[in-house]
Amino acid sequence: MKPKTHIGLEVHVELKTKSKMFCSCSAQYFGEEPNTHTCPVCLGLPGALPYPNKQAIEWCVKIGLTLNCNIALKSKFDRKNYFYPDLPKGYQISQYDQPFCEKGSIKLSDGKVIGITRVHMEEDTGKLIHETVNNEKVSLIDFNRSSVPLVEIVTEPDFENATQVKEYLQKLQQIVRYLEVSDADMEKGMMRLEPNISISLDGSGKLPNYKVEVKNINSFSFVEKAINYELERQLKELKSGKTPVQETRGWDEKKQQTVSQRIKEEANDYRYFPEPDIPPITWTEEEIEEIRESLPELPDEKIERFIKEYSLPKYDADVLTREKPLADYYEEAINVGRKLSLTPKQIANHLINKKIDIDSVLPAKLVEEISAASKTENINPEELKKVIKQVLMENPQIEADFKKGKENVLQFAIGKVMYIIRKKIDVNVLREFILEELK
Ligand code: ZN
Ligand code: MN
């Protein structure tokens, strides 16, 4: 029997709300002076009361809805107790047995459906910085990130290989960006990835009695490499009759391998209990429907519409919908382009092949350029050269004036050529052709 791989994923996504999860401190902490976005709540001082961020909870529900989850009409926050210096309260406010969203799914391009176990809301931790100050190794703590809204998205161990994982991650990143709830910038730690990997040698499909987690990866390609490395390492152990150790590993990019970080004998005991300072969160069906209705058109729907409405091939639709601003730009260009009888495909070709920077050219300007270029393409260069030669012969003063340095005469020549050709043509292209003849 063929060995069967089981890969699941935990992804943490930081939301880009204005304020933090349980206090009014600004959540926009990136690049700010350490410990300037803090208050008694996010510093975990005794007696401080958390107050949940409504926007963050709604955004978490939005993510759950796009991942086809059931949304709980009643849920609550729980305390997850553990000790670590970046966690000032000694516990993280998270969700345990009643997450906001459960039992969803997402479909990959090969038809594979990945189960979404849960999507829950929690708070981020502070950040430890290890430095050398005055020749002494010290650890510094910055609490600016403490209590920034964090959504955790957990999948079933349904992935069979690293390629599927990568596609899922790209889709997830695209979704949260389309929803405008997170920038999901991996380099800034706004999206953190933790695959868990195991193999059953007998191919029965039954989950094996061990699982290896790779913690806190911040790049899609590292995830891919870590998974492939683990699959090879675990298979080797299994084939030699050993069971891989249940442990947490990390990806070492320099060594191009995973390294053991912590061996877990049994599940961590977080002593979860309901957060006594926050009442349960309740929704009505109507409220959930309202949120569902506020969802924007999502990437998969957009791709389908682009293919149908604009007769685009799948590849073009994929590229043009990868980022929402590009898709919006494309549709604006189509609208303007209609007046110049440009087809959506012509605009798509130009945008994709010429790798247009959409921040530097307005759609209207781009469409003008495409129109001019397409008209020039329609005139045979030989035909154009013939007309130019004719104009220069019939009007010898053009050449004479040009040689005297009177460049204005080019404008006169352009007019004459246009008059004979009777087609719109890019003036700059025509000028080049005339100059070529005058050399
Ligand atoms: Zn605060
Ligand atoms: Mn978490």
pLDDT band at 201 (very low <50, low <70, confident <90, very high): confident
**Residue 234 shares a structural domain with residue 334:** no
Note the pLDDT tens digit of each residue in 78-88: 999 999 999 99
Q: What is the mean pLDDT of residues 429-436?
A: 85
**Residue 215 shares a structural domain with residue 175:** yes
Task: List phi, psi (to 5°) of 363.
Answer: -50, -40
Q: Nearest 5°: CA angle at 123, between 117 and 129?
A: 120
10: CA distance to ligand 1 center in Å?
26
**Residue 54: predicted pLDDT:** 96
Kindly state the tokens that stand for 121: 């809301």
122: CA distance to ligand 1 center in Å?
15
Of the listed ligands, the closest to the CA of 143 is 1
**Residue 431: predicted pLDDT:** 86
Note the pLDDT tens digit of each residue in 19-55: 999 999 999 999 899 999 999 999 999 999 999 999 9
Task: List phi, psi (to 5°) of 213.
Answer: -100, 140
Statement: residue 57 has pLDDT above 90: yes
> In whole angstroms, what is the distance from residue 46 CA to residue 37 CA?
18
Instruction: Tell me if 119 sits within 8 A of 101, measured CB to CB.
Output: yes
Could you tell me the residue range of the domain that residue 208 belongs to? 4-291
Do β-strands 149-155 and 273-274 pair in parallel, antiparallel, or remain unpaired? Answer: unpaired
Name 438's Cβ contacts closer than 8 Å, sequence gap at least 6. 392, 398, 399, 402
Do β-strands 149-155 and 4-14 pair in parallel, antiparallel, or remain unpaired? Answer: antiparallel
Instruction: Please provide the DSSP assignment of 335-395 as one string.
Output: HHHHHTT--HHHHHHHHHHTT--TTTS-HHHHHHHHHHHHHHHHS-HHHHHHHHHHHHHH-
- β-sheet bridge partners, residue 118: 102, 154
Last residue within a domain, chosen from 240, 272, 291: 291
**Residue 303 shares a structural domain with residue 287:** no
Of the listed ligands, the closest to the CA of 49 is 1
Of the listed ligands, the closest to the CA of 40 is 1
Q: Nearest 5°: CA angle at 186, between 184 and 192?
A: 85
24: CA distance to ligand 1 center in Å?
6
398: CA distance to ligand 1 center in Å?
75
48: CA distance to ligand 1 center in Å?
10
Residue 266 DSSP class: S
Statement: residue 356 has pLDDT above 90: no
18: CA distance to ligand 1 center in Å?
12
Of the listed ligands, the closest to the CA of 48 is 1
Helix (H) or strand (E) holding 432: helix 427-438
29: CA distance to ligand 1 center in Å?
11
302: CA distance to ligand 2 center in Å?
31
Note the pLDDT tens digit of each residue in 228-282: 999 999 999 999 989 999 999 999 999 999 999 888 666 668 999 999 999 999 9
pLDDT band at 3 (very low <50, low <70, confident <90, very high): confident
Of the listed ligands, the closest to the CA of 44 is 1
**Residue 148 shares a structural domain with residue 42:** yes
Number of domains forming the structure of the chain: 2
pLDDT band at 354 (very low <50, low <70, confident <90, very high): confident
> In whole angstroms, what is the distance from residue 239 CA to residue 232 CA?
11
Q: What is the mean pLDDT of residues 379-388?
A: 83
Look up residue 77 and give its amino acid: F
Which chain residues have CB less than 5 Å from ligand 2, an ion?
A: 152
102: CA distance to ligand 2 center in Å?
15
**Residue 269 shares a structural domain with residue 138:** yes
Tell me the CB-side half-sphere exposure of residue 432, using CA atoms within 13 A.
Answer: 6
50: CA distance to ligand 1 center in Å?
9
Name 93's Cβ contacts closer than 8 Å, sequence gap at least 6. 21, 22, 50, 77, 78, 79, 80, 122, 123, 275, 278
**Residue 250 shares a structural domain with residue 355:** no
User: Structure pTM?
Assistant: 0.83
Instruction: Tell me if 248 sits within 8 A of 213, measured CB to CB.
Output: yes
122: CA distance to ligand 2 center in Å?
7
Of the listed ligands, the closest to the CA of 50 is 1
**Residue 332 shares a structural domain with residue 277:** no
Ramachandran assignment for 341, one of left (phi > 0), alpha (psi -120 to 50 degrees), beta (any other): left
Look up residue 14 and give its amino acid: E
Of the listed ligands, the closest to the CA of 36 is 1
**Residue 267: predicted pLDDT:** 62
Last residue within a domain, chosen from 265, 291, 317: 291
Name 52's Cβ contacts closer than 8 Å, sequence gap at least 6. 21, 22, 77, 278, 281
Look at residues 137, 102, 406, 295 and name the one whose alpha carbon lies nearest to residue 438. Answer: 406
**Residue 26 shares a structural domain with residue 95:** yes
Q: What is the mean pLDDT of residues 58-68?
A: 97
Kindly state the tokens that stand for 264: 């877990």
**Residue 317 shares a structural domain with residue 263:** no
Of the listed ligands, the closest to the CA of 268 is 2
> In whole angstroms, what is the distance from residue 281 CA to residue 190 CA?
26
17: CA distance to ligand 1 center in Å?
13
Instruction: Tell me if 302 sits within 8 A of 331, measured CB to CB.
Output: no
Do β-strands 247-252 and 212-214 pair in parallel, antiparallel, or remain unpaired? Answer: parallel
What's the distance, CA 339 to chain centroid? 34
57: CA distance to ligand 1 center in Å?
17
Arithmetic mean of pLDDT over the chain: 92
Note the pLDDT tens digit of each residue in 278-321: 999 999 999 999 999 999 999 999 999 999 999 999 999 999 99
Q: What percent of the chain has pLDDT over 70?
A: 97
Look at residues 321, 335, 328 and name the one whose alpha carbon lies nearest to residue 364. Answer: 335
Alpha-carbon dihedral sign for residues 230, 231, 232, 235: positive
Last residue within a domain, chosen from 258, 291, 324: 291
**Residue 352 shares a structural domain with residue 287:** no
Kindly state the tokens that stand for 168: 């899922």
Q: What percent of the chain has pLDDT over 90?
A: 72
Residue with tokens 């997170």: 182
Kindly state the tokens that stand for 365: 């300007």
Q: What is the mean pLDDT of residues 6-14?
A: 97
Of the listed ligands, the closest to the CA of 151 is 2
**Residue 104 shares a structural domain with residue 245:** yes
Note the pLDDT tens digit of each residue in 112-152: 999 999 999 999 999 999 999 999 999 999 999 999 999 99
**Residue 393 shares a structural domain with residue 319:** yes
